Structure 1
Amino acid sequence: MKINVIYILTISVFLSMVFLIDSNKFDKLLLDWMNQLTPSSLQEPMSYLTKLGSGEVMIILTLVLMGFLYFKREKLYALMLGVIVFGGLFLNLGLKLLFQRERPGEVRYLEVFGQSFELASYSFPSGHTMRTFLLFAFIIYISYLFITKRAIRLISYAIAVFCISVVALSRMILEAHYPSDIIAAISISILWFIICIRVVPGLVRKYSRTQAPS
C-alpha cells in the first residue's frame, strides 16, 4: 500500500511539472525568490560543486562502486546499481527528447568526456539532478543494508543527502535549469529507483532458476 502511494505521488508531481512547462510563472516566482536569498559570492563555488553531477563524474563513480560490489561478491547489487544509473541516463535522455524544453540560459549541447555532440541538451528534467539522486540514493540504500555502525551509517546518509541537495540547488543558482526541471527530475528518479530495487532482484532470481540444471 505504501509503495502504491509513492508511485501515485511521484507520478502526480512529475505530471504537475509537465503541465508547468508552457507557463514560466511558477519557475519565475521561485527563481526570483532564490535570487533574492542567494549571495553572488555563491556563484563560483556552485560552478565547481555542480560538476559532481556531470555525466563523466557519475559514470566513473558508478563503475568504481559497481567494481567494489562485484569484488565483494555482491553481484546482485552491482547489477542493480548499473540498471539504476545507466537506465536512468537513458530515461533522462528520452524524457528530454520527448519534451524538448529549452534551457533558461543559452543553448547547450551534449558533452561527454570533453567530446561535444551536435545534439541540444534540453532542460526537462535535469540530468545532473537525476544522475546524482539515483547514485546517492543507492548509496543510502546499501548503507542501510550493510553498514552496521549507526554513526557511520548516518554520516553516509548525510553525505549523500548533501551531494543530492547541492547539485540540485546549483543547477538553479547557475540558471542552468528551471525549478520545475529539478522537481521533475527528483520525482521521476524516486519512481525509477523504487521500480528498479523491486523488479531487478526478482528478474535475477527468475533468470537464475531458468539457468539452473534440471
Structure 2
Amino acid sequence: MNKEEQETISKTFIMYSILMIGAFSFIFIEFADEVIEMELRSFDTPIIHYIHGLRTPMLGQFMSAITSIGSITGIMIGMSIALILLYINRKWREGLFLIVTVSGASLLNYFLKWMFKRDRPTLNPLIVEDGYSFPSGHSMVSFSFIGILAYLLTIMVKHNALKLLIMVSFLIIVFLIGLSRIYLGVHYPSDVIAGFAAGGAWLVICIVALKFKVKI
C-alpha cells in the first residue's frame, strides 16, 4: 500500500469517526435534554412494563449473571485478563489505551451522574443499587470496555469472518448488559440508551487516538 492509499484510508477513517462521534453525541444530548425537562415517562414506561412482563425465575438468574459482566468486579476481572494477554504479546501501548478507555469512561459516567442527579426507577426492582441513574454506568463502561477489546481483537486477526464474529459478539453482549439493567429494575431504558451513546462517543475518540498513535 503506497502513501497516497494510506492517506485516503486515514481520511475515510477520520470522516466516519467524526460522523459516529456526532451521532452518539446527538443521541445523548437528546435524551439528556429530555431528562432535564422530565419528559421521558411516555418513552420509558411502556418499555419497562413490557420487559418486566417477561420476568421468570430462570430469566432473572440469567439477567443477574449478565449484569455482573458489566459490574465493577466483572470489568476489573476482564481488564486483568486482557492486560495479562496484551503484556504477554508485548502490546503495551494497547494495554495502556485499554486502561485509559475504561478509566475515562468510568470517570465521565461518575461526572454525568452527578450532573444530572436522576433518581433510579422504583417500579419493582429485583436488586438494590445505590447512586444516580442517568446515564447507566453498566451500559456506558461495558460499551467502552468490550468495544475497545473488540477493536483490538479485530486488528489482530486476519480473517474477515472472525472479525465479523467478534463485532457481532460485542453487540450482543453489550445489548444484553443494557437490557439486564432494565429487566432488573435499576435503570430506565433512556438511561441505558444514553449510556451506550456516551460510551460509544468516548470509545470512538479513544480508538482514533490509538490508531494515530496519540501520546498519553
For 1:56-75, list aligned pairs within 5 A: 56-75=73-92
How many angstroms apart in 2 are the aligned matches of 1:85 and 1:47?
22
- Which residues of structure 2 form unaligned runs of 5+? 1-14
1:164 is matched with which residue? 174
Q: Does 1:93 align with 2:114?
A: no
How many angstroms apart in 2 are the aligned matches of 1:129 and 1:69?
24
Q: Does 1:2 align with 2:35?
A: no
Structure 1 residues 202 and 158 mapped into 2: Cα distance closer, same or farther (>3 Å)? closer
Alpha-carbon distance, 1:151 to partner: 4.5
Q: State the AA in 2 paired with 1:188.
A: A
Alpha-carbon distance, 1:78 to partner: 0.7
SS in structure 1 at match of 2:17: helix
Counting matched residue pairs gives 193
Output the TM-score relative to the length of structure 1. Answer: 0.82
Alpha-carbon distance, 1:150 to partner: 4.1
Alpha-carbon distance, 1:133 to partner: 1.1
For 1:28-47, list aligned pairs within 5 A: 28-36=45-53, 38-41=54-57, 42-47=59-64
How many angstroms apart in 1 are the aligned matches of 2:158 and 2:83?
21
State the Cα deviation string for residues 69-89 of structure 1 (Å, max 9, x = none): 122111111111111111111
10-19 vs 43-52, greater mean Cα deviation: 43-52
- Structural RMSD (CA): 2.0
State the Cα deviation string for residues 148-180 of structure 1 (Å, max 9, x = none): 234544443343222211111100011110001
Output the TM-score relative to the length of structure 2. Answer: 0.81
1:108 is matched with which residue? 129
How many angstroms apart in 1 are the aligned matches of 2:80 and 2:163?
22
How many angstroms apart in 1 are the aligned matches of 2:173 and 2:34?
27
Alpha-carbon distance, 1:63 to partner: 2.4
SS in structure 1 at match of 2:75: helix
1:132 is matched with which residue? 142
How many angstroms apart in 2 are the aligned matches of 1:39 and 1:56?
25
Contact 2:129 2:186 in 1 (8 A): no
1:82 is matched with which residue? 99
Structure 1 residues 152 and 203 mapped into 2: Cα distance closer, same or farther (>3 Å)? closer
- Larger strand share, 1 or 2: 1
1:112 is matched with which residue? none
Alpha-carbon distance, 1:32 to partner: 2.3
2:214 is matched with which residue? 203
Q: Does 1:174 align with 2:174?
A: no
